Amino acid sequence: MDRARRIKQSVKKRIAGSKSAFKKIRNVGIAVRIHRTKFFHISRLKLGKFRPKIGLQIEKGNFIIKTVENARELENVLRLRFDVFYQELLEKKAVIPSDIDQFDFICDHLVIFDRDRNKYVGTYRLNLSTFSRKFYSSQEFDIDNILRLKDVKLELGRACVDREYRTGVIIALLWRGLAEYIRLSNTRYLFGCSSVKTVDTHEVALLYLYLMKHHRAPEEFIVVPRKNFRIPSFSEYLSGLKCSSEEMDQAKTLVPPLLSFYLKAGAFVCGEPALDKAFNCVDFFTVLDMKNIAKSIEKKYNV
C-alpha cells in the first residue's frame, strides 16, 4: 500500500510539474504576443509621422519609381516585404502581416508602383549616413571601418520584388530610382548585407573562397561578423578544405542574382559571412565605391 501511495503521489507531482511547465510556456507565448502587439501599436504611431528624407518620383510607362511619402504607402511596402520574406521564403504566418523593425522609421523606402494594377511590386530600404548613425548591418558585423569613411554612405537593405514581377525590368527600375537617389544625396559608398539562401557549411565555404579570390575588398574595407553571428568553426573548416577547380567553378552558381549584379557593378565582398539564423541564410557584407562603378552600369543607369 505504501509503495502504491508513493507511486500515486509521484505521478501527481509529475502532472502538477507538467502543468506548471506548460503554464510557463503559455505565459512566455502570451508575453511575446503582447510584446509584438505593443511594438506594432507603437509602430503605428510612428508610422503616422513618417516623412521621406529625400523625395523623388520617376514615371516609366505604367510604373512609378518613387520614395515612400506617407504611412499608407509605407504600410504597403511592409506588407510586400512580409509576403516575400516570411510567407514565401520562410513559409511563416503571423497575426500581424508586416515586416517591420526600428530602422524603418529612420530610412527612406524606394518603391516601384504598378499603376495598371494599383500594386506595389518592388522595394529597397535606404539608410543614408547624412541622417543616421544607426545601421542594420552593424547588428551582424563590426562596421567601424566603413563608418570611418569620410564621404556620404548609403546602406541598402530589405530589397525584394513581388513574385509575379521578377524580371530584369523591375530590377532595372529599382536601379534607375537608386541612381537618382544617389545623385540627389551625393552618395559615394553603397553598402549592405547580401544574403545567400544557404546554411550548408561546405557551400558557404566554397562561395567564400570564390568571392575572396575574385572580389575581395581592400584591407581597409574588411569587416568581421559579431560573435553571435559567426559561423561555428568556419575558420577550421576552411583550413581543412580541399576543393577542385570544378568545385570552384560550381561555387559561382551559388551567387544569387542581386549579389551578382553588385559584383558586375564593381562591388567588393568584405570578408567572412555572417550567419543569419532568423532568415536561415548567410550574409556577405558588400561595398560599392561609386567612383569605381563599372562603365556599363554607369552608362545604363546614368549614375
How far is 118 from 64, CA to CA, in rounded Å?
11
Please report, for residues 77, 103, 115, 284, the alpha-carbon distance to residue 136 in angstroms, rounded to integers and kept in the order given. 18, 7, 31, 13
In a domain, 119, yes or no: no
Q: In this structure, are 42 and 177 located in the same domain?
A: no
Other beta carbons within 10 angstroms of residue 58's beta carbon come to: 13
Q: In this structure, are 42 and 135 located in the same domain?
A: no
- Residue 155, classed as helix, strand or coil, is strand
pLDDT in tens, 272-303: 999 999 899 999 999 999 999 998 887 788 77
In a domain, 62, yes or no: no
What integer pLDDT is reported at residue 48 of this predicted model? 73
- What are the two backbone dihedrals, phi and then psi, of residue 123, each rounded to the nearest 5 degrees? -155, 155
Higher pLDDT among residues 124 and 245, named by residue: 124
| Domain end (from 49, 65, 82) | 49
91 forms beta bridges with none
Higher pLDDT among residues 78 and 47, named by residue: 78
Q: In this structure, are 44 and 130 located in the same domain?
A: no
The domain containing residue 207 runs over which residues? 126-301
Q: In this structure, are 136 and 253 located in the same domain?
A: yes
Q: In this structure, are 273 and 134 located in the same domain?
A: yes
Least confident residue range of 6-15, 46-55, 242-251: 6-15
Q: In this structure, are 132 and 45 located in the same domain?
A: no
Residue 84 DSSP code: I
The grid coordinates listed for 143 are 562596421
What integer pLDDT is reported at residue 33 of this predicted model? 42
In a domain, 63, yes or no: no
Q: In this structure, are 6 and 145 located in the same domain?
A: no
What share of the chain has pLDDT > 90, as a percent?
69
The residue behind cell 567564400 is 208
pLDDT in tens, 30-48: 343 444 445 455 566 667 7
Average pLDDT of the chain to the nearest whole number: 86
How far is 250 from 159, CA to CA, in rounded Å?
26
Q: In this structure, are 134 and 260 located in the same domain?
A: yes
Total of domains in the chain: 2
In a domain, 103, yes or no: no
- Residue 207, classed as helix, strand or coil, is helix
In a domain, 259, yes or no: yes
What integer pLDDT is reported at residue 247 of this predicted model? 84
- Residue 176, classed as helix, strand or coil, is helix
In a domain, 4, yes or no: yes
Q: In this structure, are 142 and 238 located in the same domain?
A: yes
In a domain, 289, yes or no: yes
Q: In this structure, are 228 and 134 located in the same domain?
A: yes
In a domain, 60, yes or no: no
Q: In this structure, are 18 and 132 located in the same domain?
A: no
Amino acid at 156: L
Say yes or no to pLDDT of 63 above 90. yes
Q: In this structure, are 44 and 147 located in the same domain?
A: no
